[in-house]
Structure 1
C-alpha cells in the first residue's frame, strides 16, 4: 500500500501529486479545483464508491473488503484513463488537461499488480478466511461503479448532464 501511496503523492514531487494533477485538470476545464467545491453539484451516485471504501477503511473487521475494493479500482482504471485522455485530446485539450489521466494509464497498470497479487494475495495466503471479504469488497466496488454508470448514462440518454446543475465547460 505504501508503494501505491508513494505514486499517488508524486514520488516525492509536489507538482506530480495526483491531487495536484487533478486540480490542474479541473482548472484547465474552467472548474473550481478547491476541495469539495463541487460537491453540491455531484449526484449521490458519484459518492457511492468512495463512501463504501471509507466504510471499509474505518473498520478493521472489513480490512479484506477494503483491499478487494482497492484492487478492483486499480484493476479497472487504466483503460478508462486511456480513453478519457484520448477523448479529451479529440476535443482539443492539451497535456495540461490530459496529464492526470495519462499518469493513471501507466501507474494503475502497475498498481493493479501490487494490489491484486502483493496485497490481496498475501492477505489471503496469511488469512484464508478473509478471501470472502476480499471478494465482497471487489463486488461492492463494481456494484457502486455500476450505480454511477446507470445514473450517468441515463442522464446522457435523456440529453442532460449527470450533474445536479448544468455546467458549461471550457473548450
Structure 2
C-alpha cells in the first residue's frame, strides 16, 4: 500500500524524497524485491511496478548526489591526494564526532539503548549483501578485496563467526522487534541509499566509496556502543558484534583503501568523483540519523515508546 502511494506521488510530480512516506515506501519495496520468492502469474505487473519504483529510487539518489556534488568535485583526482582526502573524512566528514556516541557510552539507559538498537537493526541494509552486489564485474584487485571483506562478514565459513547472526544475538537478548513501520525515516533513508548504490550498476563506484567510508568511520562508534553495552551489564557474547567491529574495521579500512580505492583511482581518475560522492552520501545519511536519534532520545520520547 505504501508503494502504491509513492507511485501516485510520482505521477503527480509531487515527490519529496527525504520524507517519511517515500522512505517507508521505498524500504518496503526493497524488502520485497530483494527477498527470494517464486514465479507467479502477476510477474509482468510486478515488473511494471518495479520499473516505476526504480525511477523513483534513481531520482532519490540523484537528489542525494546534488547535495554533495560541490564537495565531491573538490576531491583530488591523483591517487595519493585522493586517499589522503578520503582518510581525512574520518575526522572531518559529516556526522563524525557526534555527541550521540559518548552519551551512549556513558549515560544511555537500557530502554534508550534498546530504542537506538531497534532503529539501527531495522535500518540495517546488510553489509555482506551490499558488498556482494557491489563486486559484480569489478576489476580484479578491487574484486579480491571485496571478496576478502565478504568472507570476513561470513565468518570465514563458520556460522558462529558470521557478523549478521552476532548482531541478532543482541537483538534477541534485548527483545527488539525491528520493523520498518516503527523506524524513523532517516534510518530507512540510509539503508535505502546504500541498497540503491549497491544494486544499481551506474552507482557501483559510489557504492565502493560508501562501503569504504563505513569501514573507515565505524570503529569509534562501535567501540562506544560496546562500552555502553558493557556498562549496562551485557555479556561479551552479546556485545561481540560491536567489540569485533571496533577492532576489525580498522584493518578492513586500511585494506580497502590500499586494495580497492588505489587501483580503481589509478586505473581511471574519473572514478574519484563518484567514490567521493558515495562516501559523502553515506556520511550525510548517517549524520541525519544521529541528529534524529538525539532528538528522540534526549527529549524523552523514545524512552516512552
TM-score, length of structure 1 as denominator length: 0.88
Deviations 1:23-57 (A, max 9, x none): 1011111224xxxx422221111122221111111
2:227 to 81, 86, 106: 86
CA contact (8 A) 1:124 1:130 kept: yes
Contact 2:213 2:279 in 1 (8 A): yes
SS at match of 1:161: helix
Equivalent position of 1:97 in the other structure:
238
Note if 1:68 corresponds to 2:213: no
SS of equivalent to 1:93: coil
List runs of 5+ in structure 2 lacking aligned partners: 1-145
Q: Secondary structure at the match of 2:176?
A: coil
State the Cα distance separating 1:157 from its structure 2 match. Answer: 2.4
Are positions 1:112 and 2:112 aligned together? Answer: no
Aligned partner (choices 161, 164, 167) of residue 16 of structure 1: 161
Q: Is the 8 A contact 1:7 1:107 kept in 2?
A: no
Alignment-derived partner of residue 41 in structure 1:
182
2:80 matched to which residue of 1? none
CA distance in 2 between partners of 1:10 and 1:53 (Å): 22
The 2-side partners of 1:87 and 1:57 are apart by 31
Which string of whole-angstrom CA distances, capped at 9 and with x for unpartnered residues, describes residues 110-164 of structure 1? 11112222112211111111110010001101110011011101112211218xx
Superposition map of 1:146-165 within 5 A: 146-161=287-302
Q: Stretches of 4+ moved more than 4 A in 1? A: none
Query: What CA RMSD, in Å, does the superposition of the two structures yield over aligned residues?
Result: 1.5
Counterparts of 1:39 and 1:107 in 2: how far apart (Å)?
29
